[in-house]
Structure 1
Amino acid sequence: MTSVEINIREAGVSVVTDLGRYGFTDQGLQVNGAADQFSAMAANILVGNGEGSPVIELTSILPFEMCTPEPVLFSITGSTGDITIDGINFTSRTPIVTWPDACIRIEPAQAGLRGYIAIHGRIEGDEYMGSCAYDSLINRGCKLADDQRLRVDGHCVQAPPHMTPCFPIRAPRELYSRHTPLGIMPGPELHEYPGFFDNISSQMRTVGAQSDHAGIRLEGTDAPRSRTSEILSRGVPVGAIEVPPAGGMIALLRGRPLTAGYPVPAVVARGWHSQLAQIRPGDTVSLIPTTPAQSISVAQRRRGELDILRKKCSTAFAASRLFSPRTTSMI
């Protein structure tokens, strides 16, 4: 299998990850994986990879730069600033073929928090229990550093016959701002917070600095609870909104602890998980009551967008004979 080593010139805060480490929660392992699953899957589709292939997840408040010694097919999705290859401006959300010794630079974004880079082939990561998802609690995963060499297996591509580095294909556009509305549904302790949905929908909350891959802290008016009894620790899903004794709220992300003992009056619905993953400290958030039907509708629409994107890319790559005989598309 042919491989290439990408030179990570400026890593910022970035890791190699995939969609998560499933099937081991009974052994105490969180799923983790790409915080914005939609953007990670879209990035992989744009380069002909399987949706769950490893990607580079970068924190888009910092610059990132990498150099490719050979032509590679790559894509960038999620939150990004200006993208240049050897000083030439390029766009995100599209397949791009680099030339030899090309340097790709991504400037910080004005809004949103996470960007995703996919490269045709398989990015080498620290695979553990069937996944290379980064997990700081068990000290597993590949956190990138300046001047690191990152191996990509099966990367071989040929220059497209139209002789331009981009294909006329774009993934759905994501609009990021410093204010994000999130759809929420009732949690198991909603009855302990009288008038919670009425009060919460009229308030804006600020994202605190103590936010990370495990969850984001929502600062604002405390939600009064009608009980003072403690809750036994239990499993909590992505999007659970906890109310800790110190006040405020915590919306849990994919790196959350497996169990928690704080009351959960609400849960961010699945249709808004990608938006939740892109919120950065200092942003404001509105929590808007929604329904299971609305959440399912949003999730199905996003799934449909990925399916359409896959068909477009599959057709374009087959027609262009982009992939060399030594490798095949994973689509």
Structure 2
Amino acid sequence: MTRALVVETPGPLALVEDLGRPGFAHLGVTGSGALDRGAARLANRLVGNPDGAAIVEVLVGGFRARFTGGACWFAVTGAWGAVALDGRDVAPYTAVRAPDGGVLELGPAVRGLRYSLAVRGGVDEPPVLGSRSRDTLAGLGPEPLGPGRVLAIGAEPGASVPLIDQEAAFAPPDGAVTVALRPGPRTDWFTDAAQATLFEAPWRLSEQADRIGARLVGPALARREAGELASEATVPGSVQVAGDGRPTILLADRPVTGGYPVIAIVADSSLDAVAQSRPGQELRFRHA
């Protein structure tokens, strides 16, 4: 019998993600992929998978699923909350062996926003353009998970489960998050005061935050250049400023082009922290 993970309760949003589908921007397709790439890679390593194996990205928690077809190793990283197997708490950031029929539950996240659930062998959904990632903007890749969804688990990987049974676990911060910024392609479109405000003011993540982008709450950033901007390419972490002066950090499922000026770009090393920041949480920017 083929091993599988049968979703009983998906929570608010559960998606299949891997490290994305780069190289298709010329077709209007963004890279997508796991928002917290470090968590996805670590979960895979804990169970002996290649870094790019597909995982389940669970927003906030409330996820419940049953293993069928045989025992299976799994690991949960990323957001911090209660993880239970057959009603008993198990440690996060740890390789755990679930029996055939075992029930996994992820409780509400108390820190961070997104769990990464890896199963040994990876989630074996059909790839689209070389990736098993769900792109929520373009509608590419596996559909969001719903009750009764059966996720096939891939063949045993060549590597064994690492001898170390637990990685050092650092819960995402519940206070201010420091984010490194690099200059954007249109920094000079903004006043000196606006450029200084970006780094000096406290910002908060608004409720308008998803895999496409995270809108920020804070002072308006004034422009010195009032003209219209032709659409130009975006990259993950682009800090795009709308006409009202409010910035939005574009994330993995962003459009490949945008028409608002980009004042700065989140350094690659800080993108995972943005992915785990919760609505209302404070962000502080520093120069990369």
| TM-score for the superposition, normalised by structure 1 | 0.80
Structure 1 unmatched runs, 5+? 161-165, 291-331
Find the residue that maps to 1:113 and give its secondary structure: strand
Alpha-carbon contact 2:80-2:171 (below 8 Å) kept: no
Find the residue that maps to 2:173 and give its secondary structure: coil
Give the Å deviation of 1:154.
1.5
Counterpart of 1:145 in structure 2 is 146
Give the Å deviation of 1:155.
4.5
Alpha-carbon contact 1:241-1:265 (below 8 Å) kept: yes
Give the Å deviation of 1:178.
4.5
Counterpart of 1:109 in structure 2 is 109
| TM-score for the superposition, normalised by structure 2 | 0.91
CA distance 1:79–1:269, shift in 2 (3 Å): same
Which of the two has greater strand per residue? 2
For residues 178 and 213 of structure 1, the distance between their equivalents in structure 2, rounded to whole angstroms, comes to: 22
Q: Choose 166-175 or 198-207, whichever is displaced more.
A: 166-175
| Code of the aligned partner of 1:170 | E
What are the Cα deviations for residues 100-145 of structure 1, in whole angstroms up to 9, with x where unaligned?
3211111011221111011111312241111111023332222111
Counterpart of 2:10 in structure 1 is 11
Counterpart of 1:129 in structure 2 is 129
Matched, 1:271 2:272: no
Alignment of 1:135-284 (within 5 A): 135-142=135-142, 143-155=144-156, 168-193=165-190, 194-284=192-282
What are the Cα deviations for residues 134-169 of structure 1, in whole angstroms up to 9, with x where unaligned?
023332222111122211122599xx9xxxxx9533
What are the Cα deviations for residues 192-212 of structure 1, in whole angstroms up to 9, with x where unaligned?
321334322221112122211
What are the Cα deviations for residues 259-315 of structure 1, in whole angstroms up to 9, with x where unaligned?
01111111111110110111222222111222xxxxxxxxxxxxxxxxxxxxxxxxx
Alpha-carbon contact 1:235-1:260 (below 8 Å) kept: yes
Find the residue that maps to 2:3 and give its secondary structure: strand
Alpha-carbon contact 2:137-2:255 (below 8 Å) kept: no
CA distance 1:255–1:261, shift in 2 (3 Å): same
| Code of the aligned partner of 1:277 | A
Alignment of 1:74-85 (within 5 A): 74-85=74-85
CA distance 1:275–1:216, shift in 2 (3 Å): same
| Code of the aligned partner of 2:9 | E
| Code of the aligned partner of 2:5 | I
| Code of the aligned partner of 1:27 | L
Find the residue that maps to 2:44 and give its secondary structure: helix
Find the residue that maps to 1:82 and give its secondary structure: strand
Give the Å deviation of 1:99.
2.1
CA distance 1:171–1:222, shift in 2 (3 Å): same
Alpha-carbon contact 1:112-1:176 (below 8 Å) kept: yes
For residues 171 and 126 of structure 1, the distance between their equivalents in structure 2, rounded to whole angstroms, comes to: 33
For residues 157 and 41 of structure 2, the distance between their equivalents in structure 1, rounded to whole angstroms, comes to: 21
| Code of the aligned partner of 1:188 | P
Count of residue correspondences: 281
Find the residue that maps to 2:80 and give its secondary structure: coil
For residues 188 and 209 of structure 2, the distance between their equivalents in structure 1, rounded to whole angstroms, comes to: 27
Give the Å deviation of 1:37.
0.7
Which of the two has greater helix per residue? 1
Find the residue that maps to 1:81 and give its secondary structure: strand
| Code of the aligned partner of 1:168 | D
Alignment of 1:276-295 (within 5 A): 276-290=274-288
Find the residue that maps to 1:123 and give its secondary structure: coil
CA distance 1:243–1:156, shift in 2 (3 Å): closer
Runs of 4 or more, structure 1, over 3 Å off, are none
What are the Cα deviations for residues 219-250 of structure 1, in whole angstroms up to 9, with x where unaligned?
11101111101111111111110110133100
Q: Choose 281-290 or 37-46, whichever is displaced more.
A: 281-290
CA distance 1:168–1:135, shift in 2 (3 Å): closer
For residues 277 and 9 of structure 1, the distance between their equivalents in structure 2, rounded to whole angstroms, comes to: 25
Find the residue that maps to 1:75 and give its secondary structure: strand
Find the residue that maps to 2:108 and give its secondary structure: coil
Alpha-carbon contact 1:190-1:196 (below 8 Å) kept: no
Find the residue that maps to 2:76 and give its secondary structure: strand
